[in-house]
Amino acid sequence: VDDKGNATVTDPTTGSSATIPSSDLVEKAKEATPVTPVTPVTPAKTEVKDSEHLTDKEKEAVKDKVEKANPGKNVTVDDKGNATVTDPTTGSSATIPSSDLVEKAKEETPVTPVTPAKTEVKDPEAKTPVKDPANLTDAEKAKVAEEVKKSNPTATDVKVGKDGTTTVSFPDGSTAVIPADKAVAKANDSEGVQDPSATAVKDPSNLTDADKAKAASNGSQATSAQANARKVAKELPNTGTADSTVAMVAAAASALLGLGLAGRRRKEDEEA
C-alpha cells in the first residue's frame, strides 16, 4: 500500500500482480461532532456540622439540591462535599467545589425561658380581731376576706382558712398565701369584741354570701357599741363615781343595741 492508499496485490506463485486504486479503499474521515461540556448549575449551600467530613445524611442533602438544579444529570458527592455532575448521553462531566455547596452550620442561640413575674400579694392594712385565732367564725372569716380584698383589689378569689391563713388568687393564675399572723389577731377586752346576736338564716349548714355579710354586720355593730361605751367612760371626768358612770353608760349602750338588733330582726322576719 503506498502513501496514497493504492494497494498492489501479487501472486507469489506466478509473480503476477494487480493494483487496487485508493479510491476504492479509502475515504475522507467525517469530522466528529464536538462534545458540549457540562456547565452545572450551583444550588444554594447546605449547612453541615463539619465541612471536611460530611455525614451520609448531609451528602444526600447536597446531592438532592444539585440534582434538582441539574435535571437529567448524574450526581455524586464525596466526603468533603464536592459534587461531580455527569451528562449520561455524552459522558461529559464537571465538578462543583464544596466551597460553593456547603457551609458550616450556625450555632443556635440558646433561648432563655422568660418567667412571668407573679403578682405580689399585700398583707391587709389592719388585722382582724378574733375571739379564737385557731377557730375563726364565718363572720370573722368574712371580715378577714374583706380586709384582704381592700389591699389586693385585683384578686379573683380569697379563701380564709380556719386559723386565718388566707390564700389569694390573681388573674395571671398565680396564688399567694398570707400567714394567719398577718391577717388576724386575738381580740382583747379593750378592743371591745363581743359575741354578736344570732343572725336568722335559712340553712345554718350552708350559709349564703348574704348570710355571711349579715352576720359580719351584726358582729361589727355589737363590737362598735361596746367600744363606744368604753370610750365614753374613759373620757368622763374623774368625779369619784366613775364606776357607776361606766356601768350606766354601758347599760345604756347595751339597751340601745338590743333595741336596734331587735328591730332589725323583726324587720328581717317580716321581709322573710
Instruction: State the chain's maximal CA–CA distance in angstroms.
Output: 184
Provide the 10 A C-beta neighbour count for residue 154: 10
Rounded to an integer, the average pLDDT of 246-255 is 43
Q: What is the pLDDT averaged over residues 31-57?
A: 89
Given a contact cutoff of 8 angstroms between Cβ atoms, the answer to whether 85 and 70 are in contact is yes
Give the predicted TM-score (pTM) of the model. Answer: 0.34
Distance CA 39, CA 43 (A): 13
Distance CA 27, CA 19 (A): 17
User: The domain 128-186 is classified under which CATH number: 3.40.50.300, 3.30.450.40, 3.30.365.10, 3.10.20.890?
Assistant: 3.10.20.890
* Same fold for the pair 46-104 and 128-186: yes
* 25: confidence class by pLDDT, cuts 50, 70, 90: confident
pLDDT of residue 128: 95
* pLDDT of 154 over the 90 cut: yes
Q: Any idea where the domains of the chain sit in the sequence?
A: 46-104, 128-186
Question: How is residue 126 annotated by DSSP?
Answer: S
Q: Is 199 helix (H, G, I), strand (E, B) or coil?
A: coil
Between the two ends of the chain, the Cα-to-Cα distance in Å is 142
Q: What are phi and psi of 166, to 5 degrees?
A: -120, 130
Q: Is the predicted pLDDT of residue 3 greater than 70, yes or no? A: yes
In the CATH hierarchy, which top-level class contains the domain 46-104? Answer: alpha beta
Q: Give the span between the Cα atoms of 234 and 238, in whole angstroms.
A: 9
DSSP state of 135: S
Residue type, 183: A
